[in-house]
Amino acid sequence: MLAFRAARATPWTSHSFARASFNPAERGNLYMMKRKDAPARRATAPPLRRKLFAEFVGTLFGTLVPTAVDIAYYTTGHVDDVARWLARGFIVTALIYALSEISGAHIDPAVSLGFLARGLLPLRQFGLYVLAQFAGAFAASWLMRLEFGGALVLGASHPGSGVSAIQALLAEVVMTFLLMTVILATADAEFAVGKQAAVAVGLTVAACGFAGGSISGASMNPARSVAPQVLAGAFGTSWIYLIGPSLGALLAVAAAPLLLPAPGRGERKAAEGE
């Protein structure tokens, strides 16, 4: 009987020893040791040429997607209003996730202007970012012209039917004010909200499309609007999409001290993509 009990005890004792040897606390300590010893994902800031290429690629796709969707909306009937505005929010979200640690994922001259006015972006870098962004937008518009020909004009931003230029301008100012405010409030590379800003910004872009798309096209991005307008030969309203988003971004920066603390190191890193 005693031998039988001893035989039954042996597996139980071994099992208890195994459980004690691999308890969750020890596994957690080992995990933290590995994390501590692991090399940093990016030890230094990306070089400027990589940042500029990220802005070029980001603005290219940030222009190509809404332009193609708008053309399909007006010509095929297979794209409804919901898909039209969600597509903009989706591509912005994806691009911020992909490029924020490289360039800050501005992909919008108005956003770069806001970061410049906030003191988070050097003047030289701002100028190069804007050049890269417009280059990307013109590249996307050229691809759309090759694909759709004269229908490119349907993908260019324009005021809605019966909407005056001043009404469209005001809509762009207000929507870009909201967008820039959300970006400034969530841009911080050193906190959990940093990269998750993609979701907030993408939802804001989509919401602005639902609210103001019928008024001005909800551009909030001079490069995305002006490039297809120029290549389509329909640039009579380009001034709306140059002035409106730029003014909205500057007003958001002016109001930022009423809502946000002074810019910190994390916000600066998020703006420059470090």
- What's the number of domains the chain is made of? 2
| 79 is a domain residue | yes
| Residues 9, 118 share a domain | no
Residues of the chain with pLDDT below 70 are: 1-43, 189-195, 274
| 172 is a domain residue | yes
| Residues 79, 22 share a domain | no
| Residues 11, 60 share a domain | no
| Residues 15, 151 share a domain | no
The SS3 assignment for 155 reads helix
Q: Give me the CATH number covering residue 127.
A: 1.20.1080.10
pLDDT at 35: 43
| Residues 60, 22 share a domain | no
Phi, psi angles (nearest 5°) of residue 156: -85, 145
Domain that holds residue 136: 48-272
pLDDT at 217: 96
| Residues 248, 153 share a domain | yes
| Residues 212, 120 share a domain | yes
| 81 is a domain residue | yes
| Residues 90, 175 share a domain | yes
pLDDT at 234: 93
CA distances from 207 to 82, 97, 247 (A): 10, 19, 20
Alpha helices of the chain — where are they, by DSSP H? 2-21, 24-37, 48-75, 81-103, 109-117, 123-148, 152-155, 165-186, 193-216, 222-232, 238-259, 265-272
| 43 is a domain residue | no
pLDDT at 86: 97
| 42 is a domain residue | no
